[in-house]
Amino acid sequence: MTRTSTVKSLPTEIKASLDKLLAGGAPQGRLTLDALVEFLESKGWTISRSALGRYRQEFDQVAAKLRESREIAAAFARELGAIPGDEMGQMLLELVHTLTFRVLNTEGEGIGPKEVMFLAKTIKDLQESRRVAARTAIEIRAEEKKRIEAEIKAKLAEAEGAASGQGSLTAEAAREARRILGFSDD
């Protein structure tokens, strides 16, 4: 049975500060193990240099896998094309990113590179169908607008009494109504 890392048993705020230093968050860049031991001692914690070394190796491995998963997710994003800045697009990209990270970290039970690629293709297809649906909705709205405009023009013509001269609107009033509604003068 493996022992719990003394570094992992540190309080959350101390461990977060240590992780920041390990990630290169110190003003002078990445610190040596001795400097990290000194940092922890200044906070009242005694951790061995070897424990910090093991933790740093693990931290570096996870950081490398995270960078790789971000690069893969970015490649998927480029492959998928421009995804609108909506919540669904962002959520799908985060899903690919998370799954990629799990695959790289060997936590994804039953999830391999093949499944991640299948998911990326599915997302691409979903985005394409959303684009088609959006274009179709725009076309339907344009056709509906034309139909409503035709109805309004017909009612204006009827009110004007264009054919019989017996309408309730004068020609001038009908022209003004068309102008206000944004119809060109027919």
Per-residue confidence (pLDDT) for residue 175, from 0 to 100: 81
- The structure tokens listed for 147 are 């139909």
pLDDT-based confidence at residue 1 (cuts at 50, 70, 90): low
What is the tens place of the pLDDT at every residue in 6-20? 888 888 888 888 888
Q: Per residue in 81-138, pLDDT tens?
A: 555 555 656 666 677 667 666 666 655 556 666 776 777 777 777 777 778 888 898 9
For residue 35, count other CB atoms closer than 10 A to its CB: 13
Q: How far apart are CA 117 and CA 121, in angstroms?
A: 6
User: Side chain identity at 29, as an amino acid letter?
Assistant: G
| Tens of pLDDT, residues 27-69 | 666 778 888 888 889 989 888 889 888 888 888 888 887 777 7
DSSP the chain: -PPPPTTTTS-HHHHHHHHHHHTT-STTSSPPHHHHHHHHHHTT----HHHHHHHHHHHHHHHHHHHHHHHHHHHHHHHH-PPPSSHHHHHHHHHHHHHHHHHHTT--TT--HHHHHHHHHHHHHHHHHHHHHHHHHHHHHHHHHHHHHHHHHHHHHHHHTTTTS--SS-HHHHHHHHHHHT----
Split at pLDDT 50, 70, 90, the class of 149 is confident
pLDDT of residue 47: 86
Lowest mean pLDDT among 14-23, 34-43, 152-161, 162-171: 162-171
CB 15 within 8 A of CB 39: no
